[in-house]
Structure 1
Amino acid sequence: MTRKPWTGPELVRLETLYPNTPMRHLEVIFQRNERAIYAKAYGMGLKRSAEYLASPASGRLVPGDKRGANCQFQKGQTPWNAGKKGWQAGGRAAETQFKKGEMAGRAQALYKPVGHERITKDGILQRKIRDDGPLHRRWKSVHSIIWEEQHGPIPAGHIVVFTDKGPRHTDITINRLELISRAENARRNTIHRYPPELKHVIRKLAKLKRKVQEKQREESNGSH
């Protein structure tokens, strides 16, 4: 069926026939496909009548309709896959299937066994402690492991930190570690741990840095 514009008489006829005429008949009458007829009817705001929708011609299921009943499972009927675990292809398919825990490609190349150690970008020595679970829970800092070996699990809201400024990936001993709250750690890493005179200088430097950045942005925007 070729695409062609709708004429005035066709639109009048469509408005008359659409509410109660099966689609297969409309396709023959207007020499257009189902999609074109539905689109035009929708654009005109036409709808099927309640009588048509309730009739077998609409193809819709209504309460009490027995169509397809012969294909339904009957009460007490045993499905064909009862007692079977999964589906197994024939031939040599089983030989090429991935086995549980098996890896290949990039995953295999990047895999590190439990016990492997690495140094993070922050200079922290970590050790892999498990293969399952979220990635960030598979690794743990070695200094935390050493502290827990001596004192037990780290309490909630606390962390283990180094007491000195030495390297955090080597020569890790219990005497270099201490347990502090996260709140205390936050205080130690802010300017509040400095004397008033130094805090004043730090604030002035931060303000000056912001001014320089603002000036640089203004000059950059003005050059475009």
Structure 2
Amino acid sequence: MTPLAEQALARARKIFSPGADDRALTRKFWTAADEHRLAELYADTPMPELISVFGRPDYAIYGKAASMGLKRSAAYLASEHACRMRRDSNVGEASRFKKGQKPWNKGISFDCGGRSVETRFAPGTMPHNNVPVGTERVTDDGIRQRKVRDDGPAHRRWKSVHSLIWEEAHGEIPPGHIVVFHDRNTEHLVLENLELVSRAENMRRNTFHRYPPELKDTIRQLNKLKRAISEASDEKQDD
């Protein structure tokens, strides 16, 4: 990325950083015209320019492009603007560890002083809030989970019960797939109500584009009304 592009990206990100004006942080809904323009520009336009055109932070543009299935062109990926996305490049190679290189702190014991040695967890010690394997809980999204192990990272110790039910009948869930509920009722935990779908298919089912034209138009009109109310509220506060 060129210095000029980096400066433009830094200025754009500053607009959306914490502490910025409330209006800059107000959520902006994507209109059909926005989507059409993004589809035209995304393949070859550098991110700083996209931020300027759409008035949105880079993560919002990346997310929208992903949901629409948009990709960067081969020409863009080969250009200087692609930076770490650039194909056949080795960005950051100079700062990587070389094979056989030892870290500076290898073999150095760390001592915080005081009573730190006495109060450390001994190997194998479990925290006071640990629960036994088999315990179940319900997430904020209404998904029932069951603890399946005590070791490993926290996110691997729990597994959704509906996935366990499906795996018991059909085997391990293949990579890139998830188990969903036919009737969308997360409390209806029976095999007949479960379906294996790809993550891409699940995303398509849950996007705006799956709705019929009439409902899409209604949603757009509702979003316009929300924006108008928000703008009127801002103007009233300014007065």
TM-score by length of 1: 0.50
Q: Quick one: higher RCO (CA 8 Å, sep 6+), 1 or 2?
A: 2
